[in-house]
Structure 1
């Protein structure tokens, strides 16, 4: 009798086990599971999957409820709405990536021989002189490029490219590693009446002097001007200032920025990069120049607040006697 009952219990357990396994696998076939895993494999990272599998709270641990099944960890991970939320840093980077790219859309004049550079410098002098007479402006965006070195103890190359931009129509990119600095370009650089603007331009001027013995006069650092206008004290670069002032990206790909600027001929990408930097320097200077000084702005704000308080006081002073006379 007991033996028969034991057999019945064993049989019942076997049936129960068979039914449980059947219920466990019934919702998804092996092909279904593979399809699910393949669909979410790119979304669920390996570290997140391990974390989910090691966390007992995310798994079905109640074995008594045979009708419930445990989904793949990748599916469980996607059930959490914040599982793939970006961190603040990645969110900020994502916002910056939405900025439109600043790109010079005018004519890029490339000169690499002494005659071509001489002609380009004369054109710049003529344009700046005309602008000074008509609008009283004489600032040009200025920047330089050189071939970097990646060996300790080996100095970087001489200034290879010098780019100047004074408006939205044309930027001049001069390959001075081949042409040198002819007389007209030297006059332009040493002119005290032509303001050269750029980020970190003082360092650029020092390098040009060391490499070519030409002293660049009348320079203005955009970082200093930005702090003066914005009431800040940051060391602004051209890219960060572009984002701050006009909400655009100034791309600085290392492949171009750290490339060979001493090559025989500059590539289209190098020319666009150089021209855009000079244009950005000129354009950001125009934007900053149009802003009021931070000190003046604070004074105007303080004066307006004082006037508002005076008006308020006068109002109550004129209202009190009228109330008393009634």
Structure 2
């Protein structure tokens, strides 16, 4: 026998997750909308003090066959205390967002980031640096399939991460984002950084890209 067999862990199913208490989401008082150059610069100053961020993007849904998305339309970055939602239709915000994502030495952790990475390269013209796919970390630790944010929160916190389907399929290209959109977007990034910390990766510089 060559080496030891890796222990495989089951990913929690929807029924099991539905029985758990809800994950305490980040409230609006800890979510900052970034839609001007001044707001982007302030966000830059705060974010660059942290060693790692939760990371995600949202794009306006496409419903027609063959319709191509020009997203991402927003970028979410979060620390364990605060989240920032960048609107990328503003050129100044887009420039700061690109600078943040290309910054070395800071981990950007999230789930299902393959498509996000491709869209960022196309939209922002930069290759994001320090991207950590959290699903890969769970696979390395013996989980048999992608966890996703819901599975990860269930395993690590024994809680249920709530995602609004209505918010998920809303128009992220709108100049005005609703409170429900802000809460949805910010908490995807917030949950990712909470998972990153809970996995004990705070002092790790390991990245997948």
Common topology (TM > 0.5): yes
Q: Is the 8 A contact 1:118 1:182 kept in 2?
A: no
5+ long unaligned stretches in structure 1: 1-91, 129-137, 291-326
| Structure with a larger share of its residues in strand | 2
Q: Which has the higher contact order (CA 8 A, sep 6+)?
A: 2
Alignment RMSD, CA only? 2.1
The one-character-per-residue Cα deviations of 1:28-73 (angstroms, maximum 9, x if unpaired) are: xxxxxxxxxxxxxxxxxxxxxxxxxxxxxxxxxxxxxxxxxxxxxx
Name the structure 1 match of 2:183. 272
Provide the C-alpha distance between the structure 2 equivalents of 1:116 and 1:208, rounded to a whole number of angstroms.
Answer: 21
Q: Which moved more, 1:206-215 or 1:147-156?
A: 206-215
Aligned residues: 188
Q: What does 1:123-272 align with in structure 2 at a 5 Å threshold?
A: 123-125=46-48, 127-128=49-50, 138-168=51-81, 170-179=82-91, 181-228=93-140, 230-272=141-183
Structure 1 residue runs of 4 or more that deviate by more than 6 Å after TM superposition:
none
Alpha-carbon distance change, 94 to 196 in structure 1, aligned in 2, over 3 angstroms: closer
- Between Structure 1 and Structure 2, the one with more helix by share is 1
Kept in 1: contact 2:86–2:97 (CA 8 A): no
Is this contact kept in 1: 2:98–2:125, CA < 8 A? no
Alignment of 1:61-140 (within 5 A): 95-102=16-23, 103-105=25-27, 107-125=30-48, 127-128=49-50, 138-140=51-53
Q: Deviations over 1:182-241 (max 9, x none)?
A: 54433321112011000022331221111121211011110001122x322312211222
How much has 1:177 moved relative to structure 2? 2.3
Question: Tell me, which stretches of 5 or more residues in structure 2 are unaligned?
Answer: 1-12, 202-209
